[in-house]
Amino acid sequence: MRDRFGLGWRAKLALGILSNLDRIDIVEVIADDYFRAPHRERRALRTLGAQTPVTLHGVSLGMASSVLVETKRLDEMARLCDEVSPVSWSEHLAFVRGGGIEIGHLAAPPRSAATVDGAIANLRRARKIVGVAPQVENVATLIDPPGSDRDEATWVSEIILHSDSDLLLDLHNLHANSINFNFDPVDYITRIPPERIGAIHLAGGKWIGRPDARRLLDDHLHDVPDPVYQLLEKVGACATRPLTVILERDGNFPPIEWLLEQLDRARRAVARGRTRRSAVAA
């Protein structure tokens, strides 16, 4: 079993990433940045893909909606996948628009039968049009979505069990939601079918809001906190397949060496989990 560890591709990290490909197994690229990019930028992406494995990450399809994703949006993803030949692609279990209103970012939908059914239908269409099913990512939210009638672990499990999509488990999103809405993140992990966890996101965040009503915001601008590494070790102990672990950093960039050290720490956490799993199996 070979787990892979990599970084999110950002322009300001490009030199650092390209200079350290011996320590980076895979690069995650935001697909939406390239849907309408000039030819030279798409060529550069193909060149990157020739040097290192690439996974494409979408942010604007809005898979977890009772409304069907427009075909033209899936066609854009299909064309990019054809050009780049990524090892995988992924999207969020979020809704990003409604009734012509563009939210402009990822919003957690009501956790209901309607959004389970909608997500399953969207994921099936995505697989048909793109040719490969996307991995789907749990999202962070600052509000418990109104209209929800089930908890997040149940909702996510229903979607992955009734689709061909594996879970891209964002552990900082899980950490933040577990704090903001007072649930046990380890219990969440144990309720996800372990054979369906295919990838991991790591990131950091910060506290926002009044002291008596504060929330942990997933902002991708801070280091990965200790509890997220502990959750990563837990996933390493239960996941049955090789994991792709991506460290996401969108700004407030530290030196590349600092990010690589966080990646090394992630490798050690997964290794400890794998060792525990082997010991239990022996």
**Which residues sit at the interface with another protein, rule CB under 8 A?**
30, 59, 65-67, 95, 97-105, 107, 109-110, 112, 114-115, 118, 141-148, 180, 208-210, 213, 215, 217, 220, 250-251
Q: Identify which of residues 90 and 115 has a Cβ nearer to another protein in the complex.
A: 115
Which residues lie below 8 Å from residue 191, measured CB to CB, with a gap of 6+? 153, 154, 157
**Shortest distance, CB of residue 246 to another protein, whole angstroms?**
13
Parallel, antiparallel, or unpaired for β 135-137 and 26-30? unpaired
**Shortest distance, CB of residue 149 to another protein, whole angstroms?**
9
Q: Identify which of residues 50 and 113 has a Cβ nearer to another protein in the complex.
A: 113
Q: Identify which of residues 33 and 261 has a Cβ nearer to another protein in the complex.
A: 33
**Shortest distance, CB of residue 267 to another protein, whole angstroms?**
25
Q: CA torsion, points 263, 264, 266, 270, in degrees to nearest 10?
A: 140
How many whole angstroms separate alpha carbon 99 and alpha carbon 229?
Answer: 39
Which residues lie below 8 Å from residue 231, measured CB to CB, with a gap of 6+? 171, 174, 175, 185, 186, 189
Q: Identify which of residues 62 and 236 has a Cβ nearer to another protein in the complex.
A: 62
Contact 26, 87 (CB under 8 A): yes
**Shortest distance, CB of residue 208 to another protein, whole angstroms?**
6
Q: Identify which of residues 115 and 237 has a Cβ nearer to another protein in the complex.
A: 115
**Shortest distance, CB of residue 30 to another protein, whole angstroms?**
7
Q: Identify which of residues 53 and 145 has a Cβ nearer to another protein in the complex.
A: 145
- Distances from the Cα of 96 to the Cα of 106, 114, 136, angstroms: 5, 16, 15
Three-state SS for 106? Answer: strand
* Helix or strand run (H / E) with residue 250: none
How many whole angstroms separate alpha carbon 158 and alpha carbon 156?
Answer: 5
Cα 174 off chain centre by: 11
Relative orientation angle of helices 113-130 and 152-161, to the nearest 10 degrees: 40
**Shortest distance, CB of residue 163 to another protein, whole angstroms?**
18
Which residues lie below 8 Å from residue 33, measured CB to CB, with a gap of 6+? none
Q: Identify which of residues 147 and 193 has a Cβ nearer to another protein in the complex.
A: 147
**Shortest distance, CB of residue 101 to another protein, whole angstroms?**
4
